[in-house]
Structure 1
Amino acid sequence: MLTAQQQDGTQICTLHYSREQLRTRRTEQFYCRDCQAAVTLKIGRKNIPHFAHKSVHCHQFSSERESPTHLAGKAALYSFFQQHCHDVQLEMYIQQIAQRPDVLIDQTYAIEFQCSTIPLSFIEQRTDGYISANYIPIWILHAKHTALGWNVLSLTQFEQYFFQDAHAYPYLLLFQPEQQMFYYYTSCIQVSKTKFLCYVQQIPLQAQTFPFYTPAAIPLAIYLETIDTQRQHRERYLEHSRRFNTQGVHHRILRLAYDHFGGVAYTPFYIGVYIPNAFCFNMHPFDWQLLFVVWRKLHRHAHYDEFQQWSQLAMFTPIQYQVLEQYEQILQTPNLASLSYEQLFTYIHCEIVAQ
């Protein structure tokens, strides 16, 4: 951590002093502002000077030791917000919810720079805590993929949790403290369970604004350029499923594809297409869409809850119901089977994505 309490109760922040000034204070006693345990002032050659508990953890929190990346990112973000906001507090403990955001802004925004993967239940708990105390939580991830332009990126379920919506395309806000650069993974189009076709943009720290820049929607012409990539990933997945199946006739997806279409190679091209927020199913788009198409074929007038029971998927969330409604809208497209890829994707973009 970058802040601590002195013996007389005043606070000290390492960012306000040079290394030389801090070295002269090494013999002083410093304490954690939250649990009051003694902390050590660390002044290395590479890492930002900071305080560390003499024990492994803060008695008030169950958080891990901070990495050099997290310390550097927190310091850079604190400096950034000081230039754009009035009331900026670093590592301020919120007694009401027993939480300490990295940066607190104008008593309104709680900023968290997340560098490591931790249980989502912990993220949800902290998010709910901020909201209950009338703070707006903003989570910023550490940028790992920095190649600009279109990229197919593997994003874990943990990373997908932080998707934000912009014109029906999810995006991620990330920061790279070593480069002093914000990154955006924008227009994220799901092509497998964990892979997304993303357009990677960067904004230098000094050029960023607050509230943060929101990515613009990609135009139809750009969206249509992704058709080949989406189709290739779909075909690759189907080939992999067919060749490396170890369950034989007990593989439900392959069995349904064979019984109703003669095999996965003959399934309609509208099974496995991009639907906004479909990553919420945490499975390949082809799998849940095949289940839905077959179920609709067998139960034309049944409710989505019956689909949930028939498909043996987990109980649906509101966003999953919305995704199912959007996909059913696609299935009701006139002359669907005779459309070309370009015609179908144009319909999806104009009637669903751009709405």
Structure 2
Amino acid sequence: MFTAITSEGSIICLYEMSQQAIHQLPRREYYCPECEQRLTLKRGSVKVAHFAHDVSCTNSAASQRETQNHLTGKSLIYSALRTHFHDVHLEFYIPTIVQRADVCLQSPIPMIFEFQCSKISAEQLQLRTAGYLSLGYQCRWILHADFLPKNLTDLSYVKLSKFLQAGIFTHMNGSKSITFLCVKTATLHQLILYEFYTGDYAVCERIELQGNSPLSYISQPKVIQPKPQKVLYLLKKNYEKMRREAFLFSFSKDKRFHFLITKWRKTEATFPTYIGLPCMLPHSLGPDIYWQFAYVNFLVTCREGTADDFLFSLSDHTLHTTRNLQLIETYSSFLKANHLPHRPFSKSSSKTCYISQWYSFQIVAKRSKD
């Protein structure tokens, strides 16, 4: 960390000082603004000058050692914002929620910038974000470039981990993005999420921005949806792999899915292709491959049942929401339009790809909702 409190009670920030001034600092006692425990001044030749907690520090959150990447990254964000804004603070401690933000922009938009180099749980990211939001701050996570998904093209269909999903930032114009910072090249890589599907997959585009420009951190991506042909190409290209992963995961983890597989004597090879289609409509029904299989089973066994009846048949009645009902009705219309499911269901081995039809049904449903 760059800031500390002296024994006289004054605040000192190493980042604001020249190298000569830092080397002339006396060997006095310094204290952490957060936990008020002793700090050691580090001014060697390997790392940039900074303060470090003693090994005996009892505050585990505050005493975590900072890497060179983290020190350099947050100073890069701070210096970029400071060229355009006046009310910017480095290592801004907020005692009411006991959190220290890497960089805080107070005006014109109250915003927190957190540079995350190490892998932590998604719950930790969400908890810290919730703390800042409770005080009226927007929280934007800047992730290290090592977390950037591999083999990205101009438009990619990417599986996002829970960690990356927790780092999604929603802009004021409704667009969503994840931002990564490469410290070595001072380059920002921004993943713009165009279609965010359940099941942890997203259609996204990568753009590069200058890490030393303040506009790179506060500008909003233009909401220009890619051409449907490109999206469909990505969906078709990745559909079988995505469905195979979902099938194997659900078969091993979900008892209800396992029961239906056994009931209908299905295998990965004979599983109907109209089950497991990716959804762009938001819902809380769980994996697409499970709820679609459960609904088809409901249609076969209860031919006169409605989408509303299906939601009531689920053991978890909290799933009976307007969004879930809209999705079930959209899927029901899609099945009827394509004369599905095939009868008898137990012998179905359709290889027809229904991605295009399903994508069109969702687009129409989404427009009618908006």
Q: TM-score of the superposition, structure 1-length normalised? A: 0.78
The one-letter amino acid of 1:184's match is Q
Partners of 2:161 and 2:56 in 1: CA distance: 28
Of residues 190-199 and 35-44 in structure 1, the stretch that sits farther from structure 2 once superposed is 190-199
Report the equivalent of 2:345: none
Is 1:290 matched up with 2:304?
no
Report the equivalent of 2:87: 87
Shift of 1:89: 0.9
Partners of 2:85 and 2:292 in 1: CA distance: 46
CA shift in 2, pair 1:45/1:197, >3 Å? farther
Shift of 1:15: 1.7
Report the equivalent of 1:237: 245
The one-letter amino acid of 2:139's match is P
Kindly indicate whether the alpha-carbon contact (under 8 Å) linking 2:178 and 2:191 is maintained by their aligned counterparts in 1. Answer: yes
Cα deviation per residue 1:294-323 (whole Å; 9 max; x = unaligned)? 3455453545763541xx6x95497xx625
Report the equivalent of 2:163: 158
The one-letter amino acid of 1:158's match is F
Shift of 1:75: 0.8
Please state whether the residue corresponding to 1:34 is helix, strand or coil.
Answer: coil
Report the equivalent of 1:118: 120
Kindly indicate whether the alpha-carbon contact (under 8 Å) linking 2:53 and 2:63 is maintained by their aligned counterparts in 1. Answer: no
Q: Pick from 161, 183, 189 the counterpart of residue 183 of structure 1.
A: 189
Summarize the alignment of residues 120-135 of structure 1 with structure 2, pairs less than 5 Å apart: 120-135=122-137
Kindly indicate whether the alpha-carbon contact (under 8 Å) linking 1:103 and 1:112 is maintained by their aligned counterparts in 2. Answer: yes
Q: Pick from 261, 274, 277 the counterpart of residue 270 of structure 1.
A: 274
Kindly indicate whether the alpha-carbon contact (under 8 Å) linking 2:307 and 2:329 is maintained by their aligned counterparts in 1. Answer: no
Please state whether the residue corresponding to 1:91 is helix, strand or coil.
Answer: strand
Partners of 1:270 and 1:72 in 2: CA distance: 50
Shift of 1:238: 7.1
The one-letter amino acid of 1:224's match is L
CA shift in 2, pair 1:327/1:162, >3 Å? farther
Q: TM-score of the superposition, structure 2-length normalised? A: 0.75
Stretches of structure 2 lacking an aligned partner (at least 5 in a row): 341-352
Partners of 1:317 and 1:85 in 2: CA distance: 47
Kindly indicate whether the alpha-carbon contact (under 8 Å) linking 2:197 and 2:279 is maintained by their aligned counterparts in 1. Answer: no
CA shift in 2, pair 1:289/1:92, >3 Å? same
The one-letter amino acid of 1:163's match is I
Count of paired positions: 345
Partners of 1:154 and 1:342 in 2: CA distance: 20
Report the equivalent of 1:326: 327
Is 1:12 matched up with 2:12?
yes
Is 1:199 matched up with 2:236?
no
Report the equivalent of 2:38: 38
Kindly indicate whether the alpha-carbon contact (under 8 Å) linking 1:191 and 1:233 is maintained by their aligned counterparts in 2. Answer: no
Partners of 1:277 and 1:164 in 2: CA distance: 19
Shift of 1:176: 2.4
The one-letter amino acid of 1:230's match is N
CA shift in 2, pair 1:262/1:9, >3 Å? closer
The one-letter amino acid of 2:179's match is L
Shift of 1:33: 1.8
Of residues 288-297 and 173-182 in structure 1, the stretch that sits farther from structure 2 once superposed is 288-297
Partners of 2:222 and 2:231 in 1: CA distance: 15
Partners of 1:11 and 1:22 in 2: CA distance: 14
Please state whether the residue corresponding to 1:322 is helix, strand or coil.
Answer: helix
Please state whether the residue corresponding to 1:5 is helix, strand or coil.
Answer: strand
Is 1:344 matched up with 2:358?
yes
Report the equivalent of 1:71: 71
Report the equivalent of 1:21: 21
Report the equivalent of 2:346: none
Shift of 1:78: 0.8
Partners of 1:141 and 1:279 in 2: CA distance: 27
Of residues 132-141 and 187-196 in structure 1, the stretch that sits farther from structure 2 once superposed is 187-196
Kindly indicate whether the alpha-carbon contact (under 8 Å) linking 2:34 and 2:62 is maintained by their aligned counterparts in 1. Answer: no
Partners of 2:241 and 2:67 in 1: CA distance: 36
Partners of 2:268 and 2:175 in 1: CA distance: 28
Please state whether the residue corresponding to 2:143 is helix, strand or coil.
Answer: strand
The one-letter amino acid of 1:229's match is K
Shift of 1:204: 1.9
The one-letter amino acid of 1:135's match is Y
